[in-house]
A and B are shown apart, each in its own frame.
Chain A
Amino acid sequence: MSRFWMILIEAFPQILLQGIKVTLPLTAVSFFFALIISVIVAMIQYADIPVLKQICRFYIWLIRGTPLLVQLYVIFYGLPSVGIYLDAWPAAIFVLSFNEGAYMAETVRGALESIPVGQVEAGQCVGLSYLQIMWHIVLPQAFKVAFPSLSNSLIGLLKETSLATTITITEMIRQAQIINSKHYETLGLYCEVAIIYLAFCTILTWIQRAAEKRLNRVGGRTEND
């Protein structure tokens, strides 16, 4: 077998291992927090709570208006100069959660607003409290509406974790760089990384499709008014 394939085969488990040890957990944890952030931020705007609502709009404006890379640099390399030291992992989780959370908040807000107001009024009329209306009526339906876009965000986030390499986290690309510095098989190794990303995203897409099928079985479509 040629040297080219030998290097790629040897590199494969090492890169994949970093994917399982770093990329996947970083994605999962960041997405978990991003989801919580986005639901809270969206619900504050949906409920039209003064002051908090303005703070939420400011947060979304700030995050969406600046590059993720800059946000990582500011938090990890910038904050120490004012005495705040974060380790690479907490910094990455913090930045990725708040970054993706801002985009997802808009998705969730749109989904909440797509639920007909009439159902909220009907909920009030049968005596449900605001939180009961949200929990039993609005959120379940909004979740279904938001699901495809949120899956999009998850897949996007998985790839964005590659930027964590710039704040010293050895994820898949960093691992490939390390191997490449020994063997100089640049094209092959980076294509190998791409293929592993592709595999991860393909699996996520399958899961999404299966989940959507399940969601659509329950309750059919929302009303057309």
Chain B
Amino acid sequence: MIEVKGLRKSFGDNEVLKGVDLTIEKGDVVVILGPSGSGKTTILRCINFLEKASEGTMVFDGETFDLSSMNRKDIHRLRMKTAFVFQNYNLFANMTVLRNVEIGLTAARGMGKAEAEEIALRMLEKVGLSDKRDAYPSQLSGGQQQRVAIARALASSPEVIYFDEPTSALDPELIGEVLAVMRDLADEGMTMVVVTHEMNFARNISNKVLFLEDGNVIESAPTKQFFEAPSSERAKAFVRMITADRTVREDNKQKEI
């Protein structure tokens, strides 16, 4: 469905992405892993045109685009098929929860008020927040705001949703509710690309892993293979480290009990 080839991005002299390839099939849940500063977020921002790539092509539904010279019309057309969930939620602070979810339908897609509201309410129900429809973002917890952001993303029935570290800004006890919503989406077959540090999510929900370091793809493999038999030394070390970390945490838990 989406095929990105040779994606490069520099900020001044600093080359953040050094030729990234990425293939997303319908129904995929692709997780992008890697240490901080490896360029994970920049990939998402480039393929949704929040940053302009320095080089690279993208095939989207059979159409080929040059990522470094997209015109405004194509950008708009592709954005209508995708959705983005931000680390900091980025809800519209001057609008109620309901308005946040339906504005992409009414203003951007010209849908009638009644129909848009019906869809928005259905999406809010899906993320378990129908009772907050008239609240403003500032009255919600971080986890609730992120769930509204996911409802907003879902409302336009996108072909793919990009998640940029959706739980990184949340208090630990709020992470679970957001991950649960994302798990439901994956179960329903939603195509998702997720930048995350949540290893359990990566391991249990995703079907593909892209492991990134220093702007290079070190390993791109099915999830099971990545965690059980990574081929590169760097990926091996990474998996070892996170599993070790998990064992330590589980040990601590045992001790507490």
Contacts and interface: CB of A to CB of B under 8 A. Distances in A.
Interface of A: 116, 118-119, 121-129, 132, 136-137, 140-141, 144, 218-223, 225
Interface in B102-135: 103-104, 107-109
Contacts of A225: 88
Contact of A136 (B80, B82, B103, B152): B103
A128 B84 contact: no
A118 B93 CA distance: 11
Contacts of B108: 126-129, 132
A140 B136 CA distance: 14
A222 B86 CA distance: 17
Contacts of B91: 119, 122, 223
A124 B214 CA distance: 28
Interface in B31-62: 48-50
Interface residues of B, number: 29
Contacts of A119: 90-93
A118 B90 contact: yes
B146 interface: no
A122 B138 contact: no
Interface centre among B94, B109, B152 (most CB of A within 10 A): B94
B50 A124 contact: yes
A141 B84 CA distance: 22
A121 B138 contact: no
A90 to B, nearest CB: 38
A223 B137 contact: yes
Nearest to B136: A220
A126 B76 contact: no
B156 A126 contact: yes
Contacts of B84: 121-122, 125
B93 A122 contact: no
B34 to A, nearest CB: 22
Given A125-B84, A126-B104, A223-B137, 5 more contacts: A121-B84, A132-B108, A219-B138, A220-B139, A222-B138
B237 interface: no
Contacts of B88: 116, 118, 225
Contact of A223 (B50, B93, B149, B152): B93
Interface string B69-108: 0000000100110111010101111110000000110011
A127 B76 contact: yes
Contacts of A218: 94
Given A221-B138, A223-B137, A128 B90 contact: no
Contact of B79 (A127, A132, A219): A127
Contacts of A123: 92
Contacts of B137: 223
A121 B45 CA distance: 10
23 contacts: A116-B90, A118-B90, A121-B90, A122-B92, A122-B149, A124-B49, A124-B79, A125-B82, A125-B84, A126-B103, A126-B104, A126-B152, A127-B80, A127-B109, A129-B76, A132-B108, A136-B92, A137-B92, A219-B136, A219-B138, A220-B139, A221-B93, A223-B137
Contact of B138 (A124, A140, A144, A220): A220
Contacts of B48: 125
Interface centre among A126, A136, A219 (most CB of B within 10 A): A126
A116 B90 CA distance: 8
A222 B93 contact: yes
A221 B156 CA distance: 27
Contacts of A219: 93-95, 136, 138
Contacts of A137: 92, 94-95
Nearest to B109: A127
Closest 6 CB pairs of A and B: A126-B104, A127-B108, A118-B90, A122-B90, A125-B84, A220-B138
Nearest to B106: A136
A177 B88 CA distance: 61
Nearest to A222: B93
Contacts of A132: 107-108
B93 to A, nearest CB: 5
Nearest to B139: A220
Contacts of A141: 93-94
A7 to B, nearest CB: 54
A141 B136 CA distance: 13
Contacts of B107: 128, 132, 136
